[in-house]
Amino acid sequence: MAAVLLTVLAAVASAGALKTRQLFEFPSPTFIENIAVRPNGHVLATTFTDAGLYTLDPSASNTTAKLVARVPGKTALTGITELYPDIFAVGAGIIDNLTFVNGSTSVWVVDFNCAGAEPVVRLAANLPQSIIVNGLATLPKARHMVLAADSIAGAVYRIDTISGTVQIAIQNDMLALGSNPAYPLGINGVEVHDGYLYLSQSAQRFFARVRISDSGDQIGEFEIIATLPRDPELVAYDDFAITGNGVAYLTAHSNTILKIPPGGNQTVFYGPGDMPYLFDPTSTALSRDESTLYIVTGGSAVRGGATGGQIIEVRL
Ligand SMILES: *[C@@H]1O[C@H](CO)[C@@H](O)[C@H](O)[C@H]1NC(C)=O
Ligand SMILES: *[C@@H]1O[C@H](CO)[C@@H](O)[C@H](O)[C@H]1NC(C)=O
Ligand SMILES: *[C@@H]1O[C@H](CO)[C@@H](O)[C@H](O)[C@H]1NC(C)=O
Ligand SMILES: *[C@@H]1O[C@H](CO)[C@@H](O)[C@H](O)[C@H]1NC(C)=O
């Protein structure tokens, strides 16, 4: 039933003839985990496979991703969020045998507002209490503070990137793995929009929001906006972007982007029938003018394939 519904939705999406272009494909097995867009329009991509931060200029005719920063002592980067113009926070850890090493988690600041050609990378905070920080989101009224999703503990931390202080802002079963999880991550992506924390939940298969204070504390009940349809192609929601009008573009493993407007009427925005094929999309980001959606993927190596992580542009 769900499969039939999805096929119909995919046909609707494909009929819309997406204006898509693959900007770059990394060599296998580079796995792109997350993405942000700089004020100059260049894309930043974080990798799970070498703790690299890569940059790419989408306006260049023959564009190539170049390494701009590496986080020392770590093997994997996770979420990324812009604190101040051209200053980003990124999550990092050590992955061994596809598993994060407990105690290796940390958040770093990457500052492009520096005299040199290279950004300055500095440690903001270690999170020994966490196995993984996944999505990151800046608090709009306190931009040196980030909220970080712990996908295992089912928590959202508030991290002061200046003092290094880490506190639990939200801890709730709605963020946790839940009983009998088929996917090993709970809360995944986070974005702050209009006084709410929006979040994707991989194991529990929903997209939700919760009202937060200016400092990120929970001040309302969780509201489930959409649930992941039951379809063999739809394994788990991953990270997402949200427009100024509250339209979310959510990635879903293994090959789909779902569009969820504020009312929660979820449709397939980019499906397995669209080209180029998405190999495990992990996150999306919008250009500043919201005319373009960028999608990053993990590539097919985790499934034994030869495609590296992709960066794809969709004109909206
Ligand atoms: C584009 O980039 C590729 C890879 O770096 C290179 O092999 C190719 O010659 C370039 N093409 C043009 C037109 O610059
Ligand atoms: C890697 O993890 C898998 C699954 O947990 C386990 O079966 C395997 O033995 C591990 N390999 C090594 C080299 O630790
Ligand atoms: C991770 O390490 C912390 C601190 O040492 C410990 O309390 C926690 O139980 C560990 N978690 C797991 C899953 O091993
Ligand atoms: C949901 O979106 C689809 C596609 O845009 C549209 O055809 C349908 O009418 C919408 N349903 C509701 C309840 O708004």
Span 279-315, pLDDT tens digits = 999 999 999 999 999 999 999 998 899 999 999 999 9
Global pTM value: 0.91
The neighbour count for residue 176, using CB atoms within 10 Å, is: 20
**DSSP letter (8 states) at residue 2:** H
Q: Is the pLDDT of residue 135 over 90?
A: yes
Q: Is 184 in the pocket of ligand 3 (CB under 6 A)?
A: no
Q: Which of 12, 260, 265 to mutate to test the pocket of ligand 4 (most atoms within 8 A of CB)?
A: 265
pLDDT of residue 17: 66
The amino acid sitting at 243 is T
Q: Is 165 in the pocket of ligand 4 (CB under 6 A)?
A: no
pLDDT of residue 61: 82
Ligand in closest contact with the CA of 99: 2
Q: Is the pLDDT of residue 6 over 80?
A: no
pLDDT of residue 9: 46
Ligand in closest contact with the CA of 150: 3
Could you tell me the pLDDT band of residue 16, with boundaries at 50, 70 and 90? low
Q: What percent of the chain has pLDDT over 70?
A: 95
Mind listing the pLDDT tens digit for each residue in 83-98? Answer: 999 999 999 999 987 7
Average pLDDT over residues 33-59: 96
Average pLDDT over residues 2-31: 69
Q: What percent of the chain has pLDDT over 90?
A: 88
Give CA–CA dist 136/146, Å, rounded: 6
Atom of ligand 4 nearest to the CA of 265: 1
Average pLDDT over residues 224-246: 96
The amino acid sitting at 151 is S
pLDDT of residue 11: 41
What stretches of the chain show up as alpha helix (H) in DSSP? 2-15
Mind listing the pLDDT tens digit for each residue in 192-201? Answer: 999 999 999 9
Q: What is the DSSP secondary-structure string of 24-62?
A: EEPPTT--EEEEEE-TTS-EEEEETTT-EEEEE-TTSTT
Show the beta-strand stretches assigned E in 216-291: 223-227, 236-242, 248-253, 256-260, 267-270, 281-286
Q: Is the pLDDT of residue 171 over 90?
A: yes
Average pLDDT over residues 10-37: 82
Q: Is 20 in the pocket of ligand 3 (CB under 6 A)?
A: no
The mean predicted confidence, pLDDT, of the chain is 93
Ligand in closest contact with the CA of 25: 1
Task: Count Cβ neighbours within 10 Å for each residue of 10-27 and write b for 16 or more, e otherwise.
Answer: beebbeeebebeebbbbe
**36 Cα: distance to centroid of ligand 4 (angstroms):** 29
Average pLDDT over residues 244-267: 97
Are 187 and 177 in contact, with CB atoms under 8 Å apart? no
Average pLDDT over residues 178-188: 92
Q: Report the Cα–Cα distance between both ends of the chain, in Å, rounded.
A: 30
